[in-house]
Structure 1
Amino acid sequence: MKTLKFFLILIFCLGSINIDAQINIKDKLKRQTNNRTNKNVDQGINKGLDKVENGVKDLFKKKNKDNQDSAAVDQPLAGNQDSKQSLKAFSNYDFVPGDKVLLYEDFSQDAVGDFPALWTTNKSGEVNTLNVAPGNWLNLNATEGNWWFLKQIEFPKNFIVEFDVVPKKGAPRYAVGVTIYGENGFKEMSDPYASKTGLIINIAKSGWESHGIKAGSPRISGDSNLKPVEEEKLNHVIIWVQNRRVRIYHKGEKVLDMPTNLYDDSKFTRFGFMLYRGASSASYVSNIKITTASPDTRNKLLTEGKLVTYGIYFDVNKDVVKPESYGTLNDIAKILNEVPEVKVKILGHTDSDGQDAANLDLSKRRAASVKAELARTFGVNADRLITDGMGETQPVAPNDTPSNKALNRRVEFIKQ
């Protein structure tokens, strides 16, 4: 408006200017005035649109937050960022490891670059570290051969074998073969296909093969193409043998279930790995654990008053309950929900690796995580559960070998 007044005064003072010039100036002033008016209108509209847009953004932000908060209710544990899958995703993991560890091998006592002391081979191999997983790994450094654990193992009728495998690229067919067999007489390097009785699990690029063997008898075989292992990635394989029945688990599924895979008189004492000429690539293996299976949970907990389990899993130095623990926790929860008056104390235990204070804290946090999963996933009344951790203070074996350390890493349930 001030500008408009200035031009009007100027026109009044310059009376000698001709009419055409005055008309031109007036038109110019009119155009400028209209432009300014339009500009102000545009600015007003833009401000209004900005308010609407910001309001819509705020609405979506609130809705997204509400959705996130709602989704968080279904997470297995508060603060459970390390768990990529919930226990519910592993609901068909129905195996329950027992209270005896028959073998645990993570090659932690072997020097990197050496062949492991408790093993033998007819080819080559060495202990390596990997960039895709922690710890030491046995590199089956050939495309054929046998790698046997030297000591005999008295396998019961009911047992569980677990191990991690990282297959190398380029396998024409097999990543690795798992051999569990019985001998007529002990040989360091025996032939499982010529054994008295045996079980051979071939882990293929496309799936799984299972062969029950008995000298002089045809093989009992089964196969599956569900959830095969992935090359250059960590794969956790679980094999449950229950009398004649063989089940294999991988990636949250039961990938093979053979109800009559073994002969009645099967008896096993040896364990190892095989690769096949022209059909295999080298692989890395570690974290081999063999346990008894299916303990009498009810009797141990309700009658004897104490249940020791090696079937609740955690990553190293972490307190997140891994989904593979589903079968064990489900088994315990069934008993607790059937007998609602029973109260239980959950105790966590560690081995002696690391600092005493850190192990004590870790054991307490693990016991608390077990309680949280029993309440959240299986509906056990949390008021019936108390927790504590003993750290490394109550070992059941010397902390001198991987197998003994595995015995000390346990969770106990004590009837109150």
Structure 2
Amino acid sequence: MKHPAFFKQFLITICLTFFLAPNLEAQTKRIKRPKSSVGISSVDNYVRNSFDLYDKVYKYDGYAAAGTPLDDDDIDVLEDALDDLALISESAPDILSSLDGQNAFKKAKATLQINKANKALKYSVKTAKELLAGEREREKDDDDSSESNENSDEESDKNINNDNSNDDGEEEPSNVSDGLEVYSKYDFVPGDKILFFDDFSQDFVGDLPSKWNTNGSGAIVKLNKVEGNWFELKAGYRLYVIPDINELPEDYTIEFDVLTSGLSNQTSSGARLHIVLSDTNAFSNGKTHYAAVTLPLGQYAAFNINAYNHFNGKGGMINSGLTADIRDEVKNQPHIAISVTKKRYRLWVNEVKYVDIPRFIEELDVLNYLKFHLYGLKDGEERVFIKNIKVAEGGVDLRRKLLREGKISTNGILFDSGSANIQPQSLGIVRQISQVLMQDESIKLNIIGHTDSDGSDEANLKLSKDRAAAVKEALVNIYNISADRLTTDGKGETQPVGDNGTTDGKALNRRVEFVKTQR
């Protein structure tokens, strides 16, 4: 609800206060948003919404500390924030019931994050009211108490995140993506024929990965808070890393995870990760043809995602900056997904599609190489790593294939390592399956899980069954498919379709089948 006359009066008061109060105290130390999700949707939503509003209020508190007056739009934003804060606060009591039945590890992590969110909300309510009334003046001990509490929170968070055990003896998921419900409308569908896959598990730490080339440097590293091996890219002028791919079809998808370290408000506005499709494996954008998209890494402002192409030795039709604010995403291990369907090019960061250009690839069958180029970072301070690079032919509409052939097999539904936790970026496929079931209510499906050969036969059989059950649960709970239309099974490692001695083969074997059953 708006009160124009009332807030115009306050606007005058605010302006006078900011300009005539030189002793206005400094802005409070920032409460840091939790870096990872809990895995309980109500808790994750509560924490995310609390910090989204906190960020808004904190920004305007910074204006007050700098002596910058608020304008009418600022007043509206703060007033709306207060309304939203009231709604979020009302949901707080219900969240505690979501912890019932959870293991001790998850309860501890959820409690910590709820406490942080409550502290952020308390600050936001108090500060928004004071800003609107032109009375923003914090007590002298705000900074000290905030810093002390923040340090305590960070230490607790660190202790919890370093504890990899729980009551059930299962490892908690380590990804920092949002919960599955956020991805329920995600429409990316990965290709179903793997052309290239590398998680760097077969490479030695310190070496350049065996299936890549570069004209500079780069090495496999391990990190203390995330699993597995990561490929650290080195920033530099005309410095490229190129996976061993020499032919790309007309329809294909590219996926990879990004991890960053050391990015801050001091990171250059020119810091970018370039993803290049090229006509040559030389260390340049291309000889005659190329198309590229760049992801911004700077943190002090929201920078565009840039897209540009070049065909037949001259500048192409596209050279654009696409509005985006992915600052939080690039600091929280985003999943990047790209779909090329003939001339059409689409790019997602996590669940959000930022690029969708119908004729970005101006000529077909000329771009056969993928390249990464990192530029604009401070050596040794700002770092970028990539992992789980997958290039696959297809990305076709699985709905028609299921209806036509009565079954499909896909390795595009990904799970956390050794776990039945579905990675949220896989829900594009699950969504398509749900659409088939919604279209024809007579269809029933058997969902069958398969694993690679890592681990014992018994463990893999159980894991394959659990993964099939997890897919069923997603169809029922996210897309409201009736449970009695779905059965599940698991075959473990008994029916491989690829060589379990290779990374590519293992990726092929980790798959889920959907088979139509008798009506």
Using structure 2 for the length normalisation, give the TM-score: 0.60
* Contact 2:234-2:374 at 8 Å conserved across structures: no
Alignment of 1:13-412 (within 5 A): 68-69=96-97, 82=173, 85-144=178-237, 145-152=239-246, 154-169=247-262, 171-172=267-268, 173-183=270-280, 187=281, 189-192=282-285, 194-205=286-297, 206-219=303-316, 220-230=318-328, 233-265=332-364, 267-276=366-375, 282-412=383-513
Query: 2:52 — aligned with what?
Result: none
Identity of aligned residues (%): 35
**Equivalent-residue separation in structure 1 for 2:371 and 2:503 (angstroms):** 17
Kindly tell me: are residues 277 and 380 of structure 1, through their superposed partners in 2, closer, same or farther at Cα, counting changes over 3 Å?
Answer: closer
Residues 43-68 of structure 1: per-residue CA shift (max 9 Å, x gap): xxxxxxxxxxxxxxxxxxxx987664
**Equivalent-residue separation in structure 1 for 2:470 and 2:332 (angstroms):** 27
Q: Which amino acid aligns with 2:287?
A: S
* Contact 2:185-2:431 at 8 Å conserved across structures: no
SS in 2 for 1:378: coil
**Equivalent-residue separation in structure 2 for 1:250 and 1:277 (angstroms):** 21
Residues 173-206 of structure 1: per-residue CA shift (max 9 Å, x gap): 22421122223xxx5x3422x3332221211123
Kindly tell me: are residues 403 and 223 of structure 1, through their superposed partners in 2, closer, same or farther at Cα, counting changes over 3 Å?
Answer: farther
Q: Which has the higher helix share?
A: 2
Q: Which amino acid aligns with 1:221?
A: N
Residues 277-329 of structure 1: per-residue CA shift (max 9 Å, x gap): 67995421111011234334244323322201123221111212222122211
SS in 2 for 1:331: helix
* Contact 1:87-1:325 at 8 Å conserved across structures: no
SS in 2 for 1:330: helix
Q: Structure 1 residues 357-366 or 280-289, which shifts more?
A: 280-289
**Equivalent-residue separation in structure 1 for 2:350 and 2:241 (angstroms):** 25
Q: Which amino acid aligns with 1:237?
A: I
Q: Which amino acid aligns with 1:321?
A: I
Query: 1:50 — aligned with what?
Result: none
Q: Which amino acid aligns with 2:193?
A: K
SS in 2 for 1:370: helix
Residues 70-123 of structure 1: per-residue CA shift (max 9 Å, x gap): 899xxxxxx998596343312442111232111111111111111111111111
Tell me, which stretches of 5 or more residues in structure 2 are unaligned? 1-90, 101-167, 298-302
Q: Which amino acid aligns with 1:148?
A: I
* Contact 2:184-2:478 at 8 Å conserved across structures: no
Query: 1:39 — aligned with what?
Result: none
Kindly tell me: are residues 309 and 379 of structure 1, through their superposed partners in 2, closer, same or farther at Cα, counting changes over 3 Å?
Answer: same
Kindly tell me: are residues 65 and 274 of structure 1, through their superposed partners in 2, closer, same or farther at Cα, counting changes over 3 Å?
Answer: closer
Q: Structure 1 residues 161-170 or 294-303, which shifts more?
A: 294-303
How far is 1:151 from its partner? 3.8
How far is 1:392 from its partner? 1.2
Kindly tell me: are residues 326 and 233 of structure 1, through their superposed partners in 2, closer, same or farther at Cα, counting changes over 3 Å?
Answer: closer
**Equivalent-residue separation in structure 2 for 1:268 and 1:321 (angstroms):** 33
Residues 323-377 of structure 1: per-residue CA shift (max 9 Å, x gap): 2122211111111222222221101111112222212111111100101111121
Q: Which amino acid aligns with 2:290?
A: G
SS in 2 for 1:371: helix
Kindly tell me: are residues 65 and 243 of structure 1, through their superposed partners in 2, closer, same or farther at Cα, counting changes over 3 Å?
Answer: same
**Equivalent-residue separation in structure 1 for 2:439 and 2:510 (angstroms):** 28
Tell me, which stretches of 5 or more residues in structure 1 are unaligned? 1-62, 73-78
Q: Name which one, 1 or 2, has greater alpha-carbon Rg.
A: 1
**Equivalent-residue separation in structure 2 for 1:411 and 1:355 (angstroms):** 19
Q: Which amino acid aligns with 1:157?
A: E
Kindly tell me: are residues 229 and 349 of structure 1, through their superposed partners in 2, closer, same or farther at Cα, counting changes over 3 Å?
Answer: farther
Q: Which amino acid aligns with 1:392?
A: E
Alignment RMSD (CA, Å): 2.8
How far is 1:158 from its partner? 2.2
Residue correspondences, number: 342
Q: Which amino acid aligns with 2:439?
A: E
* Contact 1:88-1:377 at 8 Å conserved across structures: yes
SS in 2 for 1:405: helix
Kindly tell me: are residues 94 and 138 of structure 1, through their superposed partners in 2, closer, same or farther at Cα, counting changes over 3 Å?
Answer: same
* Contact 1:311-1:328 at 8 Å conserved across structures: yes
Q: Structure 1 residues 99-108 or 168-177, which shifts more?
A: 168-177
Q: Structure 1 residues 388-397 or 275-284, which shifts more?
A: 275-284
* Contact 2:240-2:283 at 8 Å conserved across structures: no
Q: Which amino acid aligns with 2:369?
A: R
How far is 1:142 from its partner? 4.2
* Contact 2:448-2:488 at 8 Å conserved across structures: yes
